[in-house]
Chains A and B, each alone.
Chain A
Amino acid sequence: MVTKNKRLKLAALYTVAILGASFSIFPYLYMVLQSLAPWNEVDRRVIPTTLTLRSYEFLLTGGETGLPRPWFRAFFNSFVVTGVDTLAMLVVGAMVGYALARLPFRGARVVRSFLLFQMFYPSIILLIPTFLIIKYLGLYNTYMGMILPKAVNLWAIFMFSSFFASIDKELLEAARVDGASEWTVLVRVILPMSTTIATVVGLVLFMERWSELLWDLLVVKDQNLMTLNVLLATMKGPYGTYPGPLYAASVLLTLPIVITFLIFSKRFLSGFQFIFR
Chain B
Amino acid sequence: MRKYYEVRGWLLTAPYIIYTLVFFVIPLFWAIALAGTDWNLVSPKRNFVGLDNFITAFQSPKVAAAFVNAFKFMVLFVPLTLAISLAIALLLNSLTVWGNIFTVAFFLPYLASGVAMALVTKGLIAVNSPANKLIVSLLGFQPPWLSHPWWATMVITALIAWKFSGYYALVFLAALRSIPREMYEAAALDGAGWWTQFRKITVPMLYPAFYTVIVLAVGLMFGIFTEPYVLTGGGPNLATHTWQLEIYSQAFASFKAGYASAVAILNALATFAGVAVVRWIITRWGRAYGYEE
Contact = CB atoms under 8 A, between A and B. Distances in A.
Identify whether the interface residues of B are mostly helix, strand, loop, or mixed.
helix
A20 B83 CA distance: 14
A253 B113 contact: yes
A30 to B, nearest CB: 6
B9 A99 contact: yes
Contact of A24 (B119, B166, B230): B166
B264 A125 contact: yes
Interface stretch (B49-57, B73-81, B125-133, B185-193): B125-133
Given A128-B260, A133-B22, 7 more contacts: A104-B5, A111-B17, A122-B222, A128-B261, A128-B264, A152-B23, A275-B174
A174 interface: no
B288 interface: no
Interface in A194-237: 207, 210-211, 213-214, 218, 229, 232-233, 236
B19 A151 contact: yes
Chain A interface bracket (under 10, 10 to 19, 20 to 34, 35 or more): 35 or more
B6 interface: yes
Contacts of A96: 12-13, 15-16
Contacts of A122: 222-223, 267-268, 271-272
Given A213-B229, A233-B230, A276-B175, A99 B13 contact: yes
Interface string B29-52: 011001000000000000000000
Interface string A232-257: 11001000000100110010011001
Interface of B: 5-6, 8-13, 15-17, 19-20, 22-24, 26-28, 30-31, 34, 88, 91-92, 94-96, 100, 102-117, 119-121, 123-124, 126, 128-131, 162, 166, 170-171, 173-175, 177-178, 209, 212, 222-223, 225-226, 229-230, 243-244, 247-248, 251-252, 257, 260-261, 264-265, 267-268, 271-272, 275
B5 A44 contact: no
Nearest to A120: B275
